[in-house]
Amino acid sequence: MKIVVLLKPVPDTYGQRVLDLETGLADRAASETVIDEIGERALEAALQHAEQAGDAEVVVLSMAPAESQSALRKGLAMGAASAVHVADERLAGADYVRTAEVLAAALRKTGFDLVITGDASTDGTGGVMAAMLAEMLDAPGITRLESLEITADAVRGTRATDGGTMVVQAALPAVVSVTEALPDPRFPALRGIMNAKKKPVEQLTLDDLPLDEVGAALDETAAPRSIMTSVAERPPRSAGTIITDEGDAGERIAAFLAERRLA
Amino acid sequence: MNPILVLLPAAPAGGLIAGAAEAIGAAASIGTPIAVVTGPADALPGLAEQAASFGAARVHTAVVEGAELGAPAADAFEAAARLVQPELVLVPATVEGREAAGRLAARLRAPIAADIVGVARDEQGVVVRHSVYGGAYDVESAATYGPLIATMRLGSIDDRAEAAAPDVQPLEVTASGWRAATIESFEPIAQVSTRPDLRTAKRIVSGGRGLGSKEQFALIEQLADTLGAAVGASRAAVDAGYVEPSAQVGQTGTSVSPDLYLAVGISGAIQHRAGMQTAKTIVAIDRDASAPIFEIADLGVVGDLFTIVPQLTAALEARKG
Ligand SMILES: Cc1cc2nc3c(=O)[nH]c(=O)nc-3n(C[C@H](O)[C@H](O)[C@H](O)COP(=O)(O)OP(=O)(O)OC[C@H]3O[C@@H](n4cnc5c(N)ncnc54)[C@H](O)[C@@H]3O)c2cc1C
């Protein structure tokens, strides 16, 4: 069985994330690039299954600028067998549809029984990619799994949805996304980091992808479907009054709230 | 007449998905709201009527029995989009709403604007507003070719439309027969019905790791109920099992902008602040004077939450009389 995990390099949420005020795109130089944590959780789930089942191969896939490759290496250090990296200058500023087309075409090329992604990235926060990929690949899709169980021909789990949870199952090949309720990802061990250097990373450009198989055209890259029309930075918030409790802090907060008509 | 299509899948627990009134209200502010509602046959007339009562000028309906995930509802949304030819498709950014938006965008190969917080119209057409990187940036975007499919952050839009006379039109849908996942069962979360929804609440009381246990987290619930507030939490509180995951505020939880955000025993990690720093008034209680939450609090109180919170709850009760 081949499990492909999608990893997205994103600006580290622990740092100051900066938007370029001219282009509206992430200023990648301003902050460190890391694999989005939710992707690491997806990978952890895949690796745990592979360790138990024995017959599963785990591949990590990213569409990201060439310089993001070190982030992909972390996936290999955690235990993935190989990586596929789609990097192409024509993809700078790619929108959701373009990104989904490229990932879907790369998945067609790589082949898969199961695709696991995070439910939403910390930079885009869209939460739509798994559903788009399911459509483009004509595969059953399950978003927001809080637990997952993989068998030889199916995937099953609990899905966190609006107002409750549902138990859902799909025949493979399938596309699923996972939430933060899944276990924390492992830290790569030193041996894993050393081994990662020897593992294969397949480099692909748009020209290598069977875009026609997912209904996409190659020459379309020139025309973005949507554009930023303005970008403005908000002034940072400043601190107000800080008091230390002298036995009456509860009363003082109540008075503050009453004064502002918040209670 | 600038048709704006609003996608409203039925919520798994019944009723329309949350945010329906808001999405129709936003649509009405820039065009004519036309809703497409999917759900089980027996519930559909009620759902359609509800959409009309929120101001949808026309409601298209399609039966989706709900044993299969995603694709059958997407067949209906695609049929509606092809029929209505909207300039903009608006979808409340709930779980089922995002699913619908993603699937429709893939079918139409149309642009997505995710998690928008506002809509407007200028000479060239529809413009949508986003709040990026936890409210650090305000960004506007527009489609170069449409329709633009926008998921709308709940609680971000105050516009509401006037109720319309129901004009309900069943859709003709050709089933794509695409492979779909099967739903085996659904378990609703037990909700305290009198408590407001975190995503749209005007007041929120949030608790963090400082609460120490699920039992002690009840202090947050009592204070919230006294204030008529929703209950929120940090990720550490969710991870520790004090409260359900849907209460998480922050980068990977819900983004909120209430009138009042009261943070208790929450240090204010950057990922937590990303989801609440646009609140109008922030009050924080933490025993560590160097906790970063104090950098953004309008009123910060350094002290022990276990003495301050009960006193605050009692004082608020006393003021209510
Ligand atoms: C990719 C990513 C996404 C994340 N997303 C989120 C998110 O969406 N939301 C989120 O909240 N976090 C998120 N985090 C986690 C975040 O980094 C912090 O770990 C988390 O917010 C900490 O929660 P906390 O403030 O409750 O815990 P802590 O940081 O441990 O703070 C607890 C506070 O309680 C105080 N305290 C303890 N006892 C008392 C007492 N008796 N009286 C008063 N004060 C007391 C302490 O002084 C301390 O300041 C994310 C992290 C990553 C990497």
Statement to judge: residues B142 and B259 lie in one domain: no
Which of residues B182, B212, B244 is at a domain's end?
Answer: B182
Q: Is residue B3 lining ligand 1, measured as CB closer than 6 Å?
A: no
Q: Is residue B267 lining ligand 1, measured as CB closer than 6 Å?
A: yes
Domain extent at residue A81? 2-218
Statement to judge: residues B147 and B208 lie in one domain: no
Highest mean pLDDT among A131-135, A189-193, B144-148: A131-135
Residue A75 counted as domain residue: yes
Whole-number percent of chain A with pLDDT over 70? 98
Residue B116: predicted pLDDT: 97
Residue A221: predicted pLDDT: 52
- Measured between beta carbons, the chain A residues lying within 8 angstroms of B227 are 257, 262-263
The total number of structural domains that make up chain A: 1
Regarding predicted confidence, which is higher, A20 or B41?
Answer: B41
Residue A257 counted as domain residue: no
Residue A224 counted as domain residue: no
The total number of structural domains that make up chain B: 2
pLDDT tier at A220 (50, 70, 90 boundaries)?
A: low
Residue A256 counted as domain residue: no
Token code pair at residue A45: 């789930």
Domain harbouring A97, CATH code: 3.40.50.620
Statement to judge: residues B232 and B280 lie in one domain: yes
Q: Is residue B258 lining ligand 1, measured as CB closer than 6 Å?
A: no
Statement to judge: residues B53 and B17 lie in one domain: yes
Token code pair at residue A67: 């310089």
pLDDT tier at A31 (50, 70, 90 boundaries)?
A: confident
Q: Which helix (H) or strand (E) holds B311?
A: helix B305-320
Q: Is A254 on the interface with B (CB under 8 A)?
A: yes
A125-134, B62-71, B288-297: least confidently modelled range? B62-71
A249-253, B17-21, B177-181, B182-186: least confidently modelled range? B177-181
Residue B321: predicted pLDDT: 77
Residue B80: predicted pLDDT: 98
Highest mean pLDDT among A164-178, A220-234, B124-138: A164-178
Q: Testing the interface with A: which of B87, B99, B270 to mutate, by most A Cβ within 10 A? A: B99
Q: What is the DSSP string of B92-134?
A: E-SHHHHHHHHHHHHHHT--EEEEEEEEEEETTEEEEEEEETT
pLDDT for residue A204 is more than 80: yes
Domain harbouring B275, CATH code: 3.40.50.1220
pLDDT tier at A8 (50, 70, 90 boundaries)?
A: very high
For the CA of A36, the nearest atom of ligand 1: 1
Report the pLDDT averaged over residues A184-202: 94
Report the pLDDT averaged over residues B99-115: 97
Domain extent at residue B45? 3-182
Residue B191 counted as domain residue: no
Statement to judge: residues B259 and B156 lie in one domain: no
Cα of B278 vs centre of ligand 1, distance in Å, is 18
Chain-chain contact of A132 with B105 (C-beta, under 8 angstroms): yes
pLDDT for residue A231 is more than 70: yes
Residue A170: predicted pLDDT: 98
User: Which of 15-34 (A) contact B at CB < 8 A?
Assistant: 17, 19, 24
Residue B112: predicted pLDDT: 96
| A251 C-beta neighbours (distance < 10 Å), count | 17
The best mutation among B267, B305, B312 to test binding of ligand 1, ranked by most ligand atoms within 8 Å of the C-beta, falls on: B267
- Measured between beta carbons, the chain A residues lying within 8 angstroms of B299 are 240-241, 243, 253, 256
Report the pLDDT averaged over residues A133-154: 97
Which of residues B147, B182, B217 is at a domain's end?
Answer: B182
Statement to judge: residues B138 and B228 lie in one domain: no
Residue A179: predicted pLDDT: 97
- Exposure letters B233-265 (e unless 16+ CB within 10 A, then b): bbbbbbebebbebbbbbbbbbbbbbbebbbbbb
Which region, left, alpha or beta, applies to residue B244 given φ > 0 means left and ψ of -120 to 50 means alpha? beta
Statement to judge: residues B9 and B136 lie in one domain: yes
Q: How far apart are CA B22 and CA B143, in angstroms?
A: 22
Residue B192 counted as domain residue: no
Distance from CA of A69 to the nearest CA of B (A): 23
What residues contact residue A151 under an 8 Å CB cut-off, 6+ apart? none
Q: How far apart are CA A20 and CA B247, in angstroms?
A: 32
pLDDT tier at A222 (50, 70, 90 boundaries)?
A: low
